[in-house]
Amino acid sequence: MTRYLRGLYIFWVAWRFGLDELFLASFQRPGLHSLMRVVTFGRDLSAPRGQRLRLALESLGPIFVKFGQVMSTRRDLLPAEIADELALLQDRVPPFDSAIAIATIERAFKRPVDSVFVSFDREPVASASIAQVHFAVVKDRNGNLRDVAVKVLRPGMLPVIEKDLGLMRMMAGWVEGLSEDGRRLKPREVVGEFDKYLHDELDLVREAANAAQLRRNMAGLDLVLIPEMLWDFCHPEVIVMERMTGVPISQIDRLRQAGVDFPQLARDGVTIFFTQVFRDGFFHADMHPGNIQVSLEPATFGRYISLDFGIIGTLTEHDKEYLAQNFTAFFRRDYKRVAELHIESGWVPPQTRVDELEAAVRTVCEPYFDRPLKEISLGMVLMRLFQTSRRFHVEIQPQLVLLQKTLLNIEGLGRQLDPDLDLWATAKPFLEKWMIEQIGPQKMLEELRDQAPRYAKLIPELPRLIHQYLQQRPQSDRGEMAELLQEQKRTNRLLQTIIYGGVGFALGLLAMQIVMRIVIF
């Protein structure tokens, strides 16, 4: 019943703000325009359409606000006035009462706010769907005064999110039951992924831990600044971090006047994204402009400042390797390899013909190569890929939903910074270098080092394990095991001969060099 009531509330908000009129107005057919005049009769819809859409999303809660944040980055898909209004959802959601924020802080730290901070600004500097931020000054454990940002969780978020997720689960069940396409999309698994990420975002200590991990990962890159967390002042409802000073990346004119190199900034953004995804498998998955600033300080001029780490995407080694191989084959225009990878991974049925899938991928992707970003719509590419995936029964991978969302954000951001950016040419060298590192000697040595403790424990136990196995196996199998052991002994002797020979050869070269030096001197 709660889900149905929530559904009715969503319908009422959509009607109240005239979202049906927005939908009908997007079509050019005269009959629909006549219908629009009928359905809007008696309602005051004089406010601009972008403002009405923003207010509706704010009224519906955090999940809808996040949808608006994603859409605000896609100015290639939306009219300018709507994109401008949705951009206000990035950090200008109406704040909650500062008295509630102070009460939350005092409840978290069990003391008055004035004893926690040397000074605390009652007026929030930013407010989003999940939390709002206040500036403050705190004395750290060494007695030093530090300028900090205090993030306070918005009250009453869990019940609202639970209602929306319950409604989404119900709708996902309907979608799965309607058709084979619905089952292929795995909507319930996708909703499950959103469920996990949204609940994680309600724990601010988890966000602080995410920030600490990203800060360590990015330490040697010198392209992005991530605030330090003050762990003495972190709680599930309140976190305190280093105050960062920068200009929001959406303020293009201000950054241009300061002399920021936009083409370089766009290339650095691509490098940061691919480093987090393919090197670390741990990436910032909420990269809308409200969470990104640019430093104008002399020592860090032109570097990104990353904020808000509530939503983090992770990839397994298998996911990373599969995606990297796909991207690399794609950048090389090796569409046959792309098709083979989809079949090998099980994303398409095993009986799929490689040549047919190869031709379909080529048809979608080939027109977009060697074009600047301003001439490419990733949204259109994804739509055509979706049509292709439907034909070949490609299964949606729920664990990659956040990555796809982040790719849309990255493209929208890159389009604002440098429309002439060649996304493919920028990413290709990075991915090729990464692939070489994955199969090179350095990677092999790292894996040997990581597995050494396991092997050191296992090797001494091998004789006992083999003895137990022989005792348990039937007599007929013992002959096979004995032959295998004999073959293993022969192999070991051969390996010893090679190793000793190699060591002897190296020692011989060393001795020869020593003798030559003695003769020369």
Question: DSSP string covering 86-154, please?
Answer: HHTTTTBSPPPPHHHHHHHHHHHHTS-HHHH-SEE-SS-SEE-SSEEEEEEEEE-TTS-EEEEEEEEEP
CA separation for the pair 485, 478 (Å, rounded): 10
Q: Which residues are catalytic?
A: 286
What is the phi/psi pair of residue 238, to 5°?
A: -145, 130
Residue 347's SS3 state is coil
Which secondary-structure segment (H or E) carries 164?
Answer: helix 157-178
Q: Which residues in 179-233 belong to E strands, given as ranges?
A: 224-225
Distance CA 394, CA 386 (A): 9
Tokens standing for residue 178:
């309607």
Radius of gyration (C-alpha) of the chain in whole angstroms: 29
Those residues whose C-beta lies under 8 Å from the C-beta of residue 210, and which sit 6 or more positions away, are 309, 310, 312
Instruction: Provide the 8-state DSSP code for 235.
Output: B
Collapse the DSSP code of 228 into the 3-class scheme (helix H, G, I; strand E, B; otherwise coil) and give the result: coil
| Residue 208: closest CA among 309, 280, 139 | 309
Do the Cβ atoms of 481 and 469 come closer than 8 Å?
yes
> What 3-state class would DSSP assign to 240?
strand
Structure tokens at 391: 């034909």
CA distance 58 to 354: 47
Q: For residue 147, give the nearest of 245, 256, 8 by alpha carbon.
A: 245
Residue 445, class by beta-carbon neighbours within 10 Å (0-12 exposed, 13-18 middle, 19+ buried)? exposed
* Rounded Cα gap, residues 447 and 283, in angstroms: 23
Residue 348: DSSP 8-state: S
Six token digits for residue 259:
């002399």
Residue found by looking up tokens 């972190």 in the block: 234
Which residue's entry shows tokens 């002994």?
A: 489
The DSSP code sequence of 37-95 is: HHHTTTS---S-HHHHHHHHHHHH-HHHHHHHHHHHT-TTTS-HHHHHHHHTTTTBSPP
Calpha distance 282→314 (Å, rounded): 5
What single-letter amino acid sits at 53? L
CA-CA distance, 316 to 482, in Å (whole number)? 39
